[in-house]
Structure 1
Amino acid sequence: MPHINARRWTRRITAQILTLGLAVVGLAAVGGQEQSAPLSTEPAAVSTNQIGVTPPPMGWASWNSFFSSIDHNVIKQQADALVSSGMAAAGYKYVNLDDGWWQGQRDANGNIVVDENLWPGGMKAIADYIHSKGLKAGIYTDAGKDGCGYYFPTTRPATPGSGMEGHYQQDLETFQRWGFDYVKIDWCGGRAEKLNQEATYKQIAAANEAASAVTGRKLVLSFCEWGTGLPWNWAPGYGDLWRTSDDVLFFRETPGLTKMYRNFDQALQPAAQHTGYYNDPDMLMVGLNGMTAQRNRLHMSLWSIAGGPLLAGNNVATMTTETRDILTNPEVLAIDQDPRGLQGVKVAEDTRGLQVYGKVLSGTGKRAVMLFNRTGTAANITVRWADLGLTSASATVRNAWTRTDVGSFTTGYTTSVPANDAVLLTVSGTEATGSTFEDTTTATTPTFTGVTAASAGTKLVDITYANGGTTARKATIQVNGQYSYRMAFPPTGSATTYRTVSVLAHLAKGANTVKFAPVSGSTAPDIDALRVQGIPGTDGTALVGGASGRCVDIDKNTYVNGTQAQIWDCSGGRNETFQHTSRGELVVYGNKCLDVPTSGTNGTKVAIWDCTNGTNQKWTVNSNGTITNNLTGLCLDASNGATANGTKLILWTCNGQSNQKWTLT
C-alpha cells in the first residue's frame, strides 16, 4: 500500500477510536468529517501554511494604442520601453501582439504565412527579441475562421482567413514553435458563425494540450468571448483567464467611467477566480488620452481589488512619469498580485453608491479594502472589520496609493472619498474563527458532507492538500448543486508535506456538501481538510417558495439586465443569495436588484436590473410570508402556481396562495 494511503487508514482508525469517546472528549463528527478536532493524539492535517499560486498576468498589449498598425518596429520599441521605464522590473512581463499582426494567408499545407516586410525574419524573430529583453511574448487569434480584423477593420483593410478554426492544434503548435508564451483567442468569427462558446474553447484547450505534447512548450490561454457564454461557469482550468464583459474601449472611443464600472462589476465572479485562474475585465486604459491622473488611479484600484490581469494599453515609449508611477505603484500591484490569488467582493453598501470591497490577502488577518464612491458628491464611507471576516479588535490601516500608515482603529475605519473615486487600503487585523472539516476516508479527492454555515454567503475556504509531484495537479470542486470548477494544486515538496490553497465558495445556511473529484488526464492531489470562515459582509438569505420548496434563482449565474427570475433547486449559489437591504431592495450578486417595470401589472415579469434606488426595486417582506412590490403593491408570484425548476417569477394580485409565500432562510 502506498505510504499516503497508509497514513489515511491510520487517521481513519484513529478517528473511529476517538469517535467512541465523543461524550468524553467533546469531538463533533460531521458526515464522516471531524470538526475542529485539536486532539494531540490525532495526526495534524489542517495546515495553515499557504502556498502561492500563479498571479494574474501583467504586461502590455498593443490594441488600445496601435490597433491594427503593428509591426516589428512598434513591438521592439514597446519592449525596449517596458525595460527602460522600470515597468518590466515592476512585473509587467508580457508583450502581447493583438489583432493586425497577420493578414490572413496560409500556404498549401495550411500553415500561417506572414508579411516579412512587417516582420523581418518572421514571428519567431520578434518572439526571440522579446525574450532577449527578459520578457514574455503573447500573440492573438480568433476561434472562428475569420478574426475581428475581418468584421471590424480598423487601420488596415479587412483580413479574411485570419482565424484559427479548422487549424486549432496546427496554429497552437506554430505559436509554440515560434516561441510565444501566451495567446489571446477572440470571438468575432465564433460569434458570426454561431459557434458554442463553451464547446469551442474547451476544444481549443484540448488542442493546446495536444500541441504542448508535441512541442514541449505551453501557452497561457486567454479566452476572449466577452462573457457572452458565461465563462465563469466553465472556463477555470481550461483557460488561464477569460473575459467577463465587452471591450472596455472601442476603436476611436474616448475612455469613460460607464464602461470602466460595467467591466469591473461583471468581472466579480469570486467562485471562479482561484488557484491561478482569473476573471479578465479587459486591458487597461491608464495613460490614454482622456484619462486624468485621478481616473488612472481609480482604474488601477478597481482592477487591483478585483485581482484582474494588468495589461497596459498605453504607449509605453511616450508615457509621462506620472503615468509610469501610477502603473508601477508597488503597494497597488501587491494587492493585485497577492499570492493567494483571490478576488475582492463587495461587503457593504450602507448608502446607495457608497460601496466597500474587501479582498482576502495571503497571511493571517490581512485584507485589501476599496472604499468606492460611485456618486457625484464626496462622502464618508466606513469599512467594518466584522464585514471582512476580522474581529473587532484593533487593526492597522495603510493607504496603498500614498504608501503611508493611517493608524490603528477598533471596529472599523471611516474616511471621506471624493466623487467617482476610490480609496485603496490594506488592513492588518485579527482573523475571525473558522470551522475545520477533516477527511477520514482513503479518497485523495473526498466529499465533505455536513460543512455547516451559520448564514448563506461567500465563505473563505482553505484546502489542505499534498502534491509530491513537480507540476501542479488538478481536481474539481463542487458545492451542493452549483457549477463544478477545475482547481490547480501546486507542488508541496513531498507526498506528506501539506499546504493550503484558497477559494471563495458560496454556501447555503446549514449543511453543505463540498465534493472534490479527479480531472481526467491529471494525477489528483491528496486533499485532506477544509477550513471554512465567513465573510459576513456577503451574507444574505435564500428566498424559498412555499409551494415548491425551491429557491428564487437567476438562471446560470447570468448578469444580463432583464433576466427574469425563476425558481430552482436550492444550492446556496451566489445567484440564489439575496440581501434585503435597509432600503428595501432584494440584491443579488452585490449589484443587481429584483426589478419590475414602473407600470407593472398582473403577469409582469420580475427580473434583475442595475440597482437605481427606484421604488420599483423595493420590496416589503410581510409577516404572512408574501413579498410585495412597493410601487405596484402586487405580490411576488411563481407563475401559474407551478413548482417545477425554471418556473418564472411574475407580479400578481395578492391572493394568499402558497405560490406567493416565501421564507427567507
Structure 2
Amino acid sequence: MSHTAARRWIRRVTAQVLAAGLAVAGLASLDRQEPSAPLAAEPAAVSTNQIGVTPPPMGWASWNSFFSSIDHNVIKQQADALVSSGMAAAGYKYVNLDDGWWQGDRDANGNIVVDENLWPGGMKAIADYIHSKGLKAGIYTDVGKQGCGYYFPTTRPAAPNTGMEGHYQQDLETFQRWGFDYVKLDFCGGRVEKLDQESTYKAISAANEAASAVTGRKLVLSFCEWGTGLPWNWATGYGDLWRTSDDILFFQQTPDLAKMYRNFDQALQPAAQHTGYVNDPDMMMVGLNGMTAQRNRLHMSLWSILGAPLLAGNNMATMTTETRDILTNPEVLAINQDPRGLQGVKVAEDTRNLQVYGKVLSGTGKRAVMLLNRTGSAANITVRWADLGLTTASATVRNAWTRTDAGSFATSYTTSVPANDAVLLTVSGTEATGSTYEDTTTATTPTFTGVTGASAGTKLVDITYANGGSTARKATIQVNGQYFYRVDFPPTGSATTYRTVSVLAHLAKGANTVKFATVSGSTAPDIDALRVQNIPGTDGVALKGTASNRCVDIDKNTYVNGTQAQIWDCSGGRNETFTQTSRGELVVYGNKCLDADNSGTTNGTKVIIWDCTNGTNQKWTVNSNGTITNNLSGLCLDASNAATANGTKLILWTCNGQNNQKWTLT
C-alpha cells in the first residue's frame, strides 16, 4: 500500500503521551484503525527524532568599536584576531562590515563603486581575505536612497546615495558576486521616505531570491527597522533575523543597563522564532569600555536564553582574556546555539523583578533556565519544574557559567542571585505529558482542528513531517485567527522518513485550529502529526466581553507603552493572554501591565499597556458580578460607547451594570 493510501485509514489520535518514554516503535501502538493490508510505510503518530535547525548567527560586527572608520586594514586585523583569539573556533564565524564602508558612488550602469584607497582590490578582495581565514563575510546597506551615515554621520562626513533603493536586485547580485554571505538592511532612508516596512523588506527578500537565481549564491538577510513595523508578525521566512528594538548603543554613548534590559524585553516574541529564524535584540556590548565582567556575563546570559544572534562588537585585537573567556564559555554558547532553535520565555515572577525564564532545549526533559534579578539587592529566586513543562520528579541542575553541577532537586531549585545579575542553569528532568494529533487526510499541509488547550498560554508544538528533497521546504502555520508564520522543514532523508521540528505557539483555552499551508514557489513538506505540550508558567486568561463576545486585545502584537487596549475576535494570541499576579496586576507579554493612563480617575480615561511599575493605577479587582474595577479610581473596565465591533477601544467609566462592562476570564 502506498504511503498516501495508508494515510486515508488513519484517524486522529488525541492521546496523552509521556515524552520521556516516547519511542517510534512504542508510538506505533497508539490507538488507530488498522486496514487489512500491512502499514509498512505508515509513520508513527508522532516522531521523536528531532532535527537540528540553523542556529543564530555568531560573529563580529564593526559598528560598536569603529563606527564609520573601517577599511581593508581594520577588517583584516579583526578577522585575524577573531581566529587567533579562539573566537572563530568557538563558533564566531561572521565578520560584518557595518555603515561606513561605502561613500556613495555608482557608475553609469548603477553599479557600486568603492574607494580603492580604503579597499585595495575592491570589496571582493576583503571578502576573499575573510574567507581565507575560514570565516564568513557580512556587509551593510540601507533600504532607502540614503544610508544612516548620511543622516547621522559619525567619524566620516555624510555620504549621499549610500542606500539601495532602486537597485535592490542589482546590489544584492553585486554583494553575492563579491562573495559576501550576509547583509544587514538598515532603515534610516526608509524611515525618512516613509517606506512601508513589511512590503519593502518582502520585496528585498524576493530580490534576494532573484539575485541568487543569477549568481548561485544567497545572502543571509538581517532586517534592521528597529521593530517599528512589528516584524515579528511577518518577517519569519522572509528575513533570517530581524531587529526588534532600537539600537542598543548610539554613537559616543556608554553601555547602559536599562537599554540592555529594554532590548531583551522587546525581543521576547517566541512564536516568531523557530527553525532558523531569529529575533534580533542588536549587537552585543560585551567587552566595551564601561562593561564589568559581571555585566558582560549578564549580557551573555540574556542573549543566550533568547537564542539571539551573538555579534560581538568589541575590538578583537585588544580583547582581554577575561572578555574572551566570557564570550566563548561553551555551555553558555550551547544554550544559545541549541539545535531545537527556540526562544526562552518568562515562566515566573513571584516577586516584582525577580524573574524566571525557561528555554526548551533539544532532547527530552532538557531546559535552560535564567534566574534574573532586576532589583538593587541580592535575592533568592526559585524555579519550579512544573512551570517549565517538566514533572515534579527530581531534576539535575548545572550552572552554565561555573560549569559545575549543583545537584539533584525535587520539585524546584532556589539560589541567591546578586543585584542586577543572572544565574544561568541547565536542568535535566522528566518531560510532562502532551497531546498528540495525527492528520486524517491526504493533504501534505493539513488543518488540525480540536487542538485542545487546558489553559491559554504558550505551548511547545512538535511537528512531525517528511521531506525527501535535498533542501529545506517551507510551509506556513497559523493558530486560529493569529498571524501566520513561515516554518522551515529541513530534509529528512526520504519521503517516508519522519522527523520533527518545533515551534512555540499561543493557544486559547479549549479547542484551537492549527492550519498549515503551502508557501508559493516552494514544495511543501509532508506534515503528518503534532505533539502539543503545555508550558504552565506561561499560562494566563483571556478577558472576554459579555456584550461583544470579543477579547481584550493589544493591537497587532505591539509592545509600545501607551498603546490603548481594544476588543477583537478571540484568537488565543499572546496579545490576548493576561496573567493575574498576586499583586493585582493584569500582565500581557510577560512584562506590560494593563494601566489607567496617566493615573487617570475620570470617565473616559484610556486603558493602555505600560511597563509594570507597581502603581495602584495598574492594579485591578475582578468582581463576582463580572466587572473589573481599577483599584485607583474604582471605575470599571469599559468597551467605549457600548460598541461591540473589532477595534473598540477600552476606557474607564463609572460602573453601571451594563454588559459592555462585564468580562469573563477564560
TM-score (norm 2): 0.96
User: Which residue in the other structure is 1:612 paired with?
Assistant: 613
Equivalent pair of 1:400/1:426 in contact (CA under 8 Å): yes
**Alpha-carbon offset, residue 46 of structure 1:** 1.0
Q: What is the correspondence of 1:133-282 to structure 2 with a 5 Å cutoff?
A: 133-282=133-282
Measure, in 1, the Cα distance between the counterparts of 2:308 and 2:11: 42
One-letter code aligned to 2:665: L
Instruction: After TM superposition, give the deviation of residue 38 of structure 1 in Å.
Output: 4.5
Q: Deviations over 1:489-521 (max 9, x none)?
A: 000000000000000000000000000000011
> Does the CA contact (< 8 Å) of 1:35 and 1:438 recur in 2?
no
Determine the C-alpha separation between the residues in 2 that align with 1:602 and 1:36.
Answer: 61
Q: Look up the equivalent residue of 2:460 and give its one-letter code.
A: L
Rounded Cα–Cα distance in structure 2 between residues aligned with 1:35 and 1:128: 52
How many Å separate the matches in 2 of 1:295 and 1:146? Answer: 35
Secondary structure at the counterpart of residue 271 of structure 2: coil
| Offset, 1:40 | 9.6
- Asked if the contact 1:436/1:532 (under 8 Å) is kept, the reply is yes
2:23 is aligned to none
Contact 2:383 2:413 in 1 (8 A): yes
Query: 2:3 aligns to what?
Result: 7
**Mapped partners of 1:40, 1:453: distance in 2:** 25
CA contact (8 A) 2:7 2:442 kept: no
Q: Which residue of 2 aligns with 1:661?
A: 662
8 Å contact from structure 1 (residues 36, 437) kept in 2:
no
Return 5+ residue gaps in structure 1 as ranges: 23-33
Q: Distance in 2 between matches of 1:358 and 1:296?
A: 21
Paired residue type of 1:374: R
The question of 1:566 aligning with 2:562 is answered no
Aligned length: 647
Q: Is the 8 A contact 2:542 2:577 kept in 1?
A: yes
Q: Distance in 2 between matches of 1:656 and 1:12?
A: 53
Alpha-carbon shift at residue 7 of structure 1 (Å): 1.3
CA distance in 2, matches of 1:559, 1:574: 11
C-alpha displacement at 1:10, in angstroms?
A: 1.4
Counterpart residue type for residue 10 of structure 1: A
Deviation at 1:35, TM superposition (A): 13
Partners of 2:9 and 2:33 within 8 A in 1? no
1:8 positional shift? 2.9
Whole-angstrom distance in 2 between the partners of 1:562 and 1:15: 48
* Structure 2 residue 616 is the aligned partner of structure 1 residue 629: no
Structure 1 counterpart SS, 2:9: helix
Q: What are the within-5 Å matches in structure 2 for residues 548-559 of structure 1? A: 548-559=548-559
Task: Check the 8 A contact 1:635/1:654 in 2, yes or no.
Answer: yes
Structure 2 counterpart of 1:278, one-letter code: V
Contact kept? 1:555, 1:566, Cα under 8 Å:
yes
Instruction: Classify the secondary structure of the residue corresponding to 2:8.
Output: helix
Q: Quote the offset at 1:339 in angstroms.
A: 0.1
**1:587 to partner: Cα distance:** 0.1
Correspondences of 1:569-588 after superposition (within 5 Å) = 569-588=569-588
What is the match of residue 22 of structure 2?
A: none
Match of 2:513 in 1: 513
Structure 2, unaligned stretches of length 5 or more?
16-26
**1:346 counterpart residue number:** 346
Check whether the contact 2:10–2:439 (CA below 8 A) recurs between aligned residues.
no
2:522 corresponds in structure 1 to 522
Task: Verify the 8 A CA contact 2:30 2:45 in the aligned structure 1.
Answer: no
Output one character per residue of 1:269-310: Cα deviation in whole Å (capped at 9) or x when no partner: 000000000000000000000000000000000000000000
C-alpha distance in structure 2 between counterparts of 1:601 and 1:403, whole Å: 55
Deviation at 1:352, TM superposition (A): 0.4
Question: Residue 586 and residue 307 in structure 1: after superposition, are their counterparts in 2 closer, same or farther (change >3 A)?
Answer: same
| 2: CA distance, partners of 1:663 / 1:197 | 37
Q: Distance in 2 between matches of 1:246 and 1:36?
A: 52
8 Å Cα contact 2:567/2:647 also seen in 1: yes
Q: Deviations over 1:552-600 (max 9, x none)?
A: 0000000000000000000000000000111000000000000012233
Is the contact between residue 479 and residue 515 of structure 2 (CA under 8 Å) also seen in structure 1?
A: yes
Paired with 2:52 and 2:382, the residues of 1 have a C-alpha distance of 31
Paired with 2:507 and 2:258, the residues of 1 have a C-alpha distance of: 32
Residues in 2 aligned to 1:303 and 1:112: alpha-carbon distance in whole angstroms: 35
| Amino-acid identity (%) | 88
Q: Distance in 2 between matches of 1:261 and 1:14?
A: 49
Aligned to 2:603: 602
The aligned amino acid for 2:415 is T
Distance 1:14 1:69, change over 3 A: closer
The CA distance in 2 between the partners of 1:653 and 1:50, in whole Å, is 54
How far apart, in 2, do the equivalents of 1:316 and 1:412 lie?
Answer: 40
Cα distance in 2, alignment partners of residues 601 and 612 from structure 1: 21
1:102 maps to which residue? 102
In the alignment, what sits opposite 2:457? Answer: 457
Question: Contact conserved, 1:36 with 1:435, CA < 8 A, in 2?
Answer: no
Distance, in Å, in 2 between the alignment partners of 1:462 and 1:661 is 37
Name the amino acid aligned to 2:30: A
Which residue number corresponds to residue 76 of structure 1?
76
CA separation in 2, counterparts of 1:95 and 1:501? Answer: 29
Deviations along 1:207-250, whole A, 9 cap, x unmatched? 00000000000100000000000000000000000000000000
Shift of 1:36: 9.9
Report the AA paired with residue 339 of structure 1. P
Q: How far has the Cα of 1:37 moved from its partner?
A: 3.4
Residue 37 of structure 1: aligned partner: 30
Contact 2:342 2:360 in 1 (8 A): yes
